[in-house]
Structure formats: structure tokens, C-alpha cells
A and B are shown apart, each in its own frame.
Chain A
Amino acid sequence: MTYGKGLPGLAAATCLTLTTGFLLVAFYAPTDVDQGLIQKIFYLHVPLAIVTLGGFILGGILAIAYLRTGERVWDVRSYVAIHLSLVLGVAVLLTGAIWAKASWGVWWEWKEPTLVSFLIVFLLYATYQPLRFSIDDPERQSRYAAVFAITAGAFVPLNFLAVRLAEPLIHPRVFGAADSGMEGPMWLTFFVCLAGMTLLFMALWKYEMTSKNAAQQLRALRRRLADEAEARERRSAAPATTTS
């Protein structure tokens, strides 16, 4: 079974879409009236954040599939989704901090519910790997990791609700608000960037799945080779012992 099928095409589509997106950001999207040039980090930060949260929730959904079917491949899929989201999450926090510094003058803003919620979610998922890898039995490891992934996936929306209620809103509300100041070209650029980020996540996910699968096949082949070599040795050694 090959997992690498379609990976080159996906990678090419990712490069193309992301490059187009960034070119649009640089030359097409108008500069924001209030925030100036720094507002352009929005086209990196927000798609990244959406894809990261989507990846966390995807990890939970794949974990449900694992618990229903009991097939290990679903667990690996869930693991890879969460693992990738954690890596992208670091980028979200960094770009968020840069944007906060530029537009509010501080690196961290507690009054900003989206930023705070994201940090809490990130801290929770950061415990996924310590939990997972401190369980020795592989089958139990998958099962416990799946339970964690489902619980944490449900936690994401609840956490956003609680934190948002607790804090006054100062985040630029770009979605849904009538006065968000987003013009047509901005929306277009944003959606191209979001599509590029989603493709990037999919490509990386497929890439890691391919690598994991290849490593597993390699291990199986090595084991078979070792078994065969041992059998051959036994066969060739057998007559020698009987003649002597």
C-alpha cells in the first residue's frame, strides 16, 4: 500500500496557492487604513490559526474513528494531525505576539480573548505527547491518546466561549462584524491564503503519514529478512552437524 500517491501534486498545488496568496498580499491587497503595513500579517496569522484549530478538532474526529474501528492507522492519522497542529500552533502564537506588539504596543494582551483561548488550547495539547509516550503498551497508548484527543477536541469550542465571555472584546473582529473594514480584495486575498494554508497542512500531513508508513514497511521487511537469513543459516548448518 502506498501513501505517497498524489503527494507531488499536492505539494505543487500548495506551493502554487501559497505563492499566489503571498503575491496577492504584497501587491494586490490594499494597505489597511488604521493599522498600515503590519495588518498584512493578518493574512498569515489568521489562516494559520484556523488551520491549527481545525487540525486539533480533526485529531479528535480521527480518534473517534479509531475507537470505533480499532484500526491502528486511524490512531496514527489522529496523532499526525495533532502533532502538526502543535508545530503550527507555535507559529500562530509567535505571529500573534508580533501583531499584538505592532498594533497594541505589547507582546501579550490578556484582554484579548482569542489570543488567551488559543494559548490555553495550546497548553492543553502540549500535554498530548507526554501523556502518550509515558504509556508503554502500544495498544493502550493508542486508546488513551484517542480518549484525550476526543476530550480535548470538545474542549476547544467551550474554552473559546468561556474566555470570550470573560474579557471585553478588543480583537479586530473581522468576521461577521459590519464595520470590520474588510474590502473585497482583502477577502479574496484572505481566502487564497486560507486555501494555501489548508493545502500546506494536508501536504505535510500526507508527507508524515507516508514517512511513517515507509518506516513501518521498512521495519517489517527488515524483520522478514532477518528471519529468512536465520532460517537459511539453520538449513545450511543442519547437514554439517549431522555429518561430523
Chain B
Amino acid sequence: MRAVGALLRKDLRAELRTGETVPAMCLFAVTTFVIFHFALDREAIDGDLASGVMWVTILFAAILGINRLFVAEREQGGFDGFLLAPVDRTAMLVAKAIALFLFLAALQVVAVPAFAVLLLEPSPFGSLHELVLVLVLGDVGLAIIGTLASALAVQTRARDLIVPIVSLPLLVPLVIAATEATSPLWAAGGAGDVPFKWLAVLGLYDLTFGLIAYAVFDFLLED
């Protein structure tokens, strides 16, 4: 546990001091909303379309963060230092996944209000609790898959290419469930209930991949 705390503090401090990842993700998300405005040629969107646009934007912004997650460890010998320390290797997985989760949460604190101002027709703040629930469940899955994909790709020659092509197909079920859960919240005729079915799918997805990542992550850190 202490190892997780130390790693997480290190990551957050590096991010606070350099501001490398989260600001870029936020900027990317806002720019993408502007692009969607022109590409769809719509003043405002709601329902299915709105939830799809938002989740696709979050997904692609997340890819930026996933790409960079382990780069510093590799380039500046963080892996070697970590492997020398007498701590459980799973600590790296947990710390990185929590860091990515926090990055995504910070991104959404910026991106969701920006989306509400720029494109979304029904206000998202009426059904904020439900939205936060869906976002949290979605972010947990994104963080787990992202950490796994990032660790897989960081040792390859074509890291920037491998991260999106591996993680996007893995994230398709998550996007299906998250968009289906979000769209009733933003229906044009007033917010509906979040379908429980999709929250259950999101939870199942998070749980399954959490366990798989826990089981296989050690093998990515050997030697």
C-alpha cells in the first residue's frame, strides 16, 4: 500500500510540475467539440448523438494520456528503480491505474462543462448524480485497459501506433455500455433513468479486466 502511495504521489507531482498530460487532454477534448460542431453542422445535440460525441471525445483524449503513461518510467529508468525496490509489482499497476483515473476525472471536470456550453442541448447538471456514476464506472474501465495497453506498448518500437490499435477494440464494449447508459440522461424530452443493464455491464467489464490485469501485469515488468 505504501508503495502505491509513493508511486502515485510521484506521478501526480510530476504531472503538477510539468503539466504535460492533462492540459493537453483537455485542450484536445475542447477542440474536438469544436470540430464536431462543424463536422455535424449542428448548433446543439441531444440524446444518442450527444452521448456518442462525448464518449468518443473522451476516448480519444484518454488515448493521449495512455500513450504517455509509462514513457517517463522507460526513458528515465523508473522501471529499473521500481524493480530494484522490494515491493509487490502489482503496486505499479494500481498506482498507474489510479493516476490515469484521476487524469480522466480532471479531464471530465473540464470537458463536460465545456460540452454543455458548446454543444449539449439539455443541461447535464439536472441529472448530475447519474452522470457521475456512469463516468466513474467508465473511467475505471478506461484506466484499467489503458494501463494494460500502455504497459504492453511501451517496450515496442511503434508505441504511439500500438496503443490506439490495441486499446480501441478492447474498449468497444465499454463505449457501447457507457453511451447507452448516458443517452437517456440527455434525451430531448427530459432526463430518463439510467438503464441498470448497462451499469451492470460496465461494472462487469471493470471487474473482469481488473482481475485480468492483476493476474498478468507482473509478466510485463520482468527483467
Q: Which residues does A use to contact B, with CB under 8 Å?
A: 67, 120-121, 123-124, 127, 130-131, 134-136, 139-140, 143-144, 146-148, 150-152, 154-155, 158-159, 161-163, 165-166
Contact = CB atoms under 8 A, between A and B. Distances in A.
A140 B155 contact: yes
B14 interface: no
Nearest to B177: A162
Nearest to B166: A127
A67 B219 CA distance: 8
A144 B219 CA distance: 8
Nearest to B156: A134
Interface residues of B, number: 33
Contact of B155 (A121, A135, A150): A135
Interface of B: 148, 152-153, 155-158, 161-162, 165-166, 169-170, 172-173, 176-177, 180, 197-198, 201, 204-205, 208-209, 212-213, 215-216, 219-220, 222-223
A161 B155 contact: no
10 contacts: A135-B156, A136-B157, A140-B223, A143-B219, A147-B219, A147-B220, A158-B173, A162-B173, A162-B205, A163-B172
B83 to A, nearest CB: 14
Given A67-B219, A151-B148, A134 B176 contact: no
Contact of B216 (A120, A140, A151, A159): A151
A130 B205 contact: no
A173 to B, nearest CB: 20
A150 B177 CA distance: 23
Contact of A148 (B155, B166, B222): B166
